[in-house]
Structure 1
Amino acid sequence: MLFTALFVIVVTFLVLRGWTTSSLRLPPGPRQVPLLGNVHQLPSMGHQRTFAEWGKRYGDVIYARLFQTPAIVVNSMAAAQELLDKRSAKYSHRPRFILLQELMGWDVMTHFSYGERWRRHRKWIAGAFQDKDALLSYRPLQRRETYILLSGLMDTPQQFMGHIRRFTAAMIMEIAYGHCVESSNDKYIHLAERAASVTLESGDAGAMLVDFFPTLRYLPLWCPGAGFKRKAFAARKVIQELLDTPYEMVKSAMMKGIARPCFTASLLEESIQEGTLRSDEHEIKGAAGLLYGAATDTTSAVLGTFMLAMVRCPDVYQKARSEIDRVVGTERFPDFDDRASLPYLECVIWEVLRWNCPVPLALPHKTAVRDEYRGYEIPANAMVIPNIWAMTHDIEAYSAPDAFRPERFMEMDAQTLASRDPRNVVFGFGRRACPGQDFADSSVWLACACIVATVDIRQTLDESGKCITPPAVFDDVFVSHPKRFSCDIRPRSQKAKSMVADFITNHVT
Structure 2
Amino acid sequence: MVPRYFSLQDKESARLVRNLIKDPSKFISEVNLRIGIIILRVTYGYYVESADDPFLTTPLLAMANFGKATQPGNFLVDFVPALKHIPRWMPGAGFLKTAEEMHKVMWSATWNNYEWCKNNLKTGKTLMPNLCGTFIQEAGENITEDDELKLGWAASSVMGGGLDTNVSSVMMFWAAMILNPQIQAKAQAELDSVVGKDRLPTISDRPRLPYIRSIMAEVFRMGPSIPLGQFITCAVFANADKVHPPGIPHAVSEDDVYEGYHIPKGAFILPNVWHMLHDPEVYPDPMEFKPERFNGSESEMKKATDRLWIWKTSTLFAIIATTLATCHILPGLDEHGKEVLPKFAYTPGTITFLEPFPMRLKARSPDAVSLLENVPSDVE
User: Which residue of the partner structure matches residue 270 of structure 2?
Assistant: 385
* Cα distance in 1, alignment partners of residues 120 and 302 from structure 2: 47
| Residue 456 of structure 1: how far off its partner (Å) | 1.8
Match of 1:266 among 119, 122, 134: 134
The 1:419–1:381 alpha-carbon spacing in structure 2 relative to 1, beyond 3 Å, is: farther
CA deviations on 1:322-374 (whole Å, 9 max, x unpaired) are: 11112211111112332222222222111111111111006445444434444
* Cα distance in 2, alignment partners of residues 374 and 303 from structure 1: 37
CA deviations on 1:400-433 (whole Å, 9 max, x unpaired) are: 32222222223x9x69x63883124xx2xxxxxx
Tell me, yes or no, if the aligned pair for 2:226 and 2:351 is still in contact at 8 Å: yes
User: Which residue of the partner structure matches residue 240 of structure 2?
Assistant: none
* Cα distance in 2, alignment partners of residues 257 and 167 from structure 1: 23
Larger radius of gyration: 1
Match of 2:305 among 423, 427, 448: 423
User: Which residue of the partner structure matches residue 332 of structure 1?
Assistant: 199
Match status 1:165 vs 2:61: no
User: Which residue of the partner structure matches residue 293 of structure 2?
Assistant: 408
Over the matched positions of the two proteins, sequence identity in percent amounts to 30
* Cα distance in 1, alignment partners of residues 180 and 18 from structure 2: 23
Any idea what SS the aligned residue of 1:389 has? Answer: helix
* Cα distance in 2, alignment partners of residues 315 and 226 from structure 1: 54
Match of 1:246 among 102, 113, 116: 113
The 1:395–1:237 alpha-carbon spacing in structure 2 relative to 1, beyond 3 Å, is: same
* Aligned-pair Cα RMSD in Å: 2.6
* Cα distance in 1, alignment partners of residues 60 and 26 from structure 2: 16
Structure 2: give runs of 5+ residues left out of the alignment: 229-246
Tell me, yes or no, if the aligned pair for 2:70 and 2:249 is still in contact at 8 Å: no
* Cα distance in 1, alignment partners of residues 323 and 143 from structure 2: 47
* Cα distance in 2, alignment partners of residues 477 and 325 from structure 1: 39
* Cα distance in 1, alignment partners of residues 225 and 110 from structure 2: 24
User: Which residue of the partner structure matches residue 374 of structure 2?
Assistant: 502
* Cα distance in 1, alignment partners of residues 340 and 111 from structure 2: 45
* Cα distance in 1, alignment partners of residues 301 and 124 from structure 2: 50
* Cα distance in 1, alignment partners of residues 74 and 206 from structure 2: 45
Tell me, yes or no, if the aligned pair for 2:13 and 2:318 is still in contact at 8 Å: yes
Equivalent residues in 2 for 1:91-170, closer than 5 Å:
135-170=2-37
Q: TM-score, normalised by structure 2?
A: 0.86
| Residue 445 of structure 1: how far off its partner (Å) | 0.8
Any idea what SS the aligned residue of 1:439 has? Answer: helix
Any idea what SS the aligned residue of 1:386 has? Answer: coil
* Cα distance in 1, alignment partners of residues 177 and 273 from structure 2: 23
User: Which residue of the partner structure matches residue 453 of structure 1?
Assistant: 325
Structure 1: give runs of 5+ residues left out of the alignment: 1-128, 130-134, 428-433
Amino acid at match of 2:273: I
The 1:250–1:337 alpha-carbon spacing in structure 2 relative to 1, beyond 3 Å, is: closer
Any idea what SS the aligned residue of 2:286 has? Answer: coil
Amino acid at match of 1:418: E
Tell me, yes or no, if the aligned pair for 1:207 and 1:228 is still in contact at 8 Å: no
CA deviations on 1:171-201 (whole Å, 9 max, x unpaired) are: 1100111001222232211112222233344
Aligned residues: 361
Tell me, yes or no, if the aligned pair for 2:192 and 2:325 is still in contact at 8 Å: yes
User: Which residue of the partner structure matches residue 174 of structure 1?
Assistant: 41
